A and B are shown apart, each in its own frame.
Chain A
Amino acid sequence: MNLTLRIWRQTGPEDKGRMVTYQVEDVSPDMSFLEMLDVLNERLTLAGEEPVAFDHDCREGICGMCGMMINGNAHGPQRGTTACQLHMRQFADGDTIDIEPWRARAFPVVKDLVVNRNAFDQIIAGGGFVTAPTGSAPEAHAAPVAKADADAAFESAACIGCGACVAACPNGSGMLFTAAKVTQLSLLPQGQPERYTRVIGMVDSHDDAGFGGCTNAGECTVVCPKGIPLHTIGRLNRDYLAATAKHTGRS
Chain B
Amino acid sequence: MAVTGLVLVLFLVAHMLGNLKIFTGAEDFDHYAHWLRDLGTPLLPYGWYLWLQRGVLLVALAGHIWAATMLALRARSARPVRYAHRKKVQGSYAARTMRWGGVIIALFVIYHILDLTTGHLNPIGDPSRPQANVVADFAPERWYVTLFYTLAVVALGFHLRHGAYSALRSLGQQTPQGERRARSLALLFAVALSVGYLVVPFAVLLGLVR
Contacts and interface: CB of A to CB of B under 8 A. Distances in A.
Interface of A: 6, 8, 17, 19, 69, 71-73, 98, 100, 103-106, 168, 170-173, 210-213, 215-223, 229-235, 237-238, 241
A170 B83 contact: no
Contact of B91 (A105, A217, A231): A217
A234 B173 contact: yes
A238 B85 contact: no
Q: How large is the interface on B (under 10, 10 to 19, 20 to 34, 35 or more residues)?
A: 35 or more
B70 A213 contact: yes
Given A100-B84, A232-B174, 13 more contacts: A100-B83, A105-B78, A105-B79, A171-B74, A210-B77, A216-B162, A217-B92, A219-B90, A231-B176, A233-B169, A234-B179, A237-B170, A238-B172
B165 interface: yes
A170 B90 CA distance: 10
Contacts, number: 112
Interface of B: 1, 70-71, 74-75, 77-87, 89-92, 95-96, 98, 162, 165-166, 169-176, 178-179
Given A69-B85, A71-B85, A217-B92, A238 B174 contact: yes
A199 to B, nearest CB: 12
Given A103-B81, A168-B90, A170-B96, A213 B173 contact: no
A230 B91 CA distance: 11
Contacts of A173: 75, 78
A100 to B, nearest CB: 6
